[in-house]
Amino acid sequence: MAAVRARAFELSAGPDAGASPEEDWLRAERELSVAHEYDTADRDFEELGITLSRLPSEAGAVWRLTLPRGERFEAWEPGNGGLAPPSEIGRLVERVAMGKPLVPSPPASTDPGARRLRELLEEQRRSILAHDPGVRLGADTENLHQHRVAARRVQAYLRAARAYLDPVWRRMILDSLRELSAATGPVRDLDVLLAHVSEQVRTLEEPDRAAAVQLVAALEVALARTRRQLGRTLDGRPYGLLLSRLRLPPSLVAGGVEIPLKRLARKEFRRLAAEAERLGKHPEEAEIHALRILLKRARYAAELAGVGGAQRERFLEDAKALQDLLGEHQDALVAEKHLRETTVVDDSTAVAFVAGRIAERQRTRRDAVHERLPEAWRRLRKSGRRIDNS
């Protein structure tokens, strides 16, 4: 309040003094208060270029409505009991809101860590939107891959900064992400499997190729089914709310905090290193998958902290190389599972036979990963230690 009092006195003594001390005080409050923006959960105001702000103070609050052509209308709300706009503003926007409740947007933090988090969340939101039409079309599988990568990054960023984020806001985002992943995951698995099987078919002897065509057809039927489910998810309300919520600044824990991104990145790498040391050189299949998840978290936490300098660049390159290697292992594991579950056969069970042959090759793929894993992990630990000590 001292800053408001000083600014009000400055205004009253200057050439822009208002007609009364109260007017100078209100103007000082508007200049120095934090503005909380309100909108519907569907972001109807934002879509139309309308801004509704509430500027609180000890004496009450000013509600400010700014329209797309620059018109501005303000109304005073005495006291701080109500969080609904005054009736004169409510009447102006009731057709836009269509009876939907208004919800406050959190004010943007000035903390560098919070700003960095917001920038990267917005970057991932744009990536999800950019690939959304391609995911729906399904002609290029890279769209779904990039769509899933952006969603995973959001999840990793929120996990790394979880101690500094409002738990309710974070849970709403993560719940929507889990529902989205449950729909995109099966489609991505079948996309990868179909590409691999189609390539393997060319290496089969001629008598097996007719059965292989039936196998590909069975997988395409399964893919079409999962795509229909994905389409329903993309058209659903939770997905729309996810994209709307990611447009807002991250909601931090009460009281405002600083997010120590570099410390969080070091913490994620240490967790990864400790788990890898515990597993040793010959981890089990499930342990490799868990290690891959930890690796993604460490890599994305490093990205969140900000890439700078050759050491950090080297760590991210080594992390991506190891992640790609573990991804090959996971693809082989998923491929074998799907192929062994294939039940569509012809009279002589040729399809099942071909599926079994290709499934056996997945073990060879996984064995190749096991051979290359120690060296890739050694490189990552070396570059990671440099980051940890910087």
Single out the residue of 338, 180, 195 nearest to residue 246, CA to CA: 180
Residue corresponding to tokens 């209100």: 26
Do 274 and 226 have their domain in common? no
Name the percent of the chain lying above pLDDT 90. 26
Do 131 and 269 have their domain in common? no
Domain boundary among 104, 126, 143: 104
Do 217 and 284 have their domain in common? no
Do 249 and 112 have their domain in common? yes
Inside any domain, residue 12: yes
Q: What is the pLDDT of residues 13-22, one digit of tens each?
A: 766 666 666 6
Q: Which of the two residues, 207 and 213, has the higher pLDDT score?
A: 213
Q: What is the pLDDT of residues 212-224, one digit of tens each?
A: 677 778 888 999 9
Do 112 and 254 have their domain in common? yes
Do 39 and 125 have their domain in common? no
Do 115 and 75 have their domain in common? no
Q: What is the pLDDT of residues 99-110, one digit of tens each?
A: 888 877 766 677
Do 243 and 287 have their domain in common? no
Q: Mean pLDDT highest for which of 111-125, 188-202, 344-358?
A: 111-125
Inside any domain, residue 254: yes
* Number of structural domains in the chain: 3
Domain membership of residue 332 as a residue range? 260-305+314-341+354-390
Inside any domain, residue 349: no
